[in-house]
Chain A
Amino acid sequence: GAVVSQHPSRVICKSGTSVKIECRSLDFQATTMFWYRQFPKKSLMLMATSNEGSKATYEQGVEKDKFLINHASLTLSTLTVTSAHPEDSSFYICSAREAGTQETQYFGPGTRLLVL
Chain B
Amino acid sequence: KQEVTQIPAALSVPEGENLVLNCSFTDSAIYNLQWFRQDPGKGLTSLLLIQSSQREQTSGRLNASLDKSSGRSTLYIAASQPGDSATYLCAVSWVNTGFQKLVFGTGTRLLVSP
A-to-B contact residues, CB < 8 Å: 4, 6, 32, 34, 41-46, 49, 91, 93, 95, 97, 102-110, 112
Chain A residue numbers with a CB within 8 Å of B44 are 44, 93, 95, 107
How many residue pairs between the two chains, A and B, have CB atoms under 8 Å in the bound complex? 51
A-facing mask of B9-51, CB < 8 A → 1, else 0?
0000000000000000000000010001000011111100100
Q: Which range contains the number of B residues in contact with the other chain?
A: 20 to 34
Most B CB contacts (10 A, CB to CB) among A49, A102, A107 go to A107
A97 vs B32: C-alpha distance when bound (angstroms)? 15
Partner of B43, one of A32, A46, A93: A93
* Contact yes or no, A109 B43, CB < 8 A: yes
Query: What are 11 A-B residue pairs whose CB atoms fall within 8 Å in the complex?
Result: A43-B107, A44-B44, A49-B100, A49-B101, A91-B41, A95-B44, A102-B99, A104-B49, A106-B46, A107-B43, A112-B41
